[in-house]
Chains A and B, each alone.
Chain A
Amino acid sequence: MIEFNGKQIATDTQGYLLDVNDWEPALAPIIADGEQILLTDAHWEVINFVREFYLEYKTSPAIRVLVKAIGQKLGPDKGNSKYLYTLFPIGPAKQATKIAGLPKPAKCI
């Protein structure tokens, strides 16, 4: 559960939103705070990417797919694990999807 603008937003026990439609950009820094991440433009680029990926394919991308898809769209300097782990140290697939208001990826590898 997250308190936001006087609303209660339902999450699972690990903090992932239960309904993707509850998310709005202003919520991202609050979720990111819980992950001890201060959002920069570089973070936002990935967050927007995973959210668009989810809305198109209805699934949260696993890390291998995330790396590949980001490489295709944003170039090889960003489509690699090292870059993504710099932004999201615990795990890009786990953390970027959480901050983007998406369900936890079933395949966290």
Chain B
Amino acid sequence: MKAIAIIFRQSPHGNAAGREALDLALMAATYEQQVHLIFIDEGVLNLLGNQQPELIGCKDYIATFKALDLYEVASVIVSEVSLCGFGLDKTALVYPATVADDGQIRQLLEQVDEVLVF
């Protein structure tokens, strides 16, 4: 088993990055890998509630974040700096992610076997 960190660093819906990152996360978790999701910079916007991507012809993968516990991912981390930068807090999120500072995120990047950035 490998520990994998998957970083979301881009806004949702403008391209396929967020959906692909989530697909990979669920796939890896299904294969019983230890999966950590990390949301930084504009990537934190993936976790916002009340999104309606179907209005602009995009698949609503955001709803799937709510199922992360069933997939037994190891952790879901959201950057405090990035959240604050957009004037957001935890209550706006569709999944109760753990809020972490950059130092804590760096530690996690050191601990895992692989880091994949989307």
Contact = CB atoms under 8 A, between A and B. Distances in A.
A and B touch in the complex (CB under 8 A): yes
A41 interface: no
Interface stretch (A28-36, A51-59, A84-92): A51-59
B64 A65 contact: no
Interface string B28-58: 0011000000000000000000000000000
Contacts of B31: 109
A68 B29 CA distance: 13
Contacts of B27: 106-107
A57 B67 contact: yes
B23 A65 contact: no
B22 to A, nearest CB: 9
A65 B71 contact: yes
By secondary structure, the B interface counts as helix
A62 interface: yes
B59 interface: yes
A107 B59 contact: no
A109 B30 contact: yes
A57 B62 CA distance: 8
A59 B67 contact: yes
A57 B71 CA distance: 12
Interface of A: 53, 56-59, 61-62, 64-65, 68-69, 106-107, 109
13 contacts: A53-B67, A57-B64, A58-B60, A58-B62, A59-B61, A59-B63, A61-B67, A61-B70, A62-B30, A65-B71, A69-B70, A106-B27, A107-B30
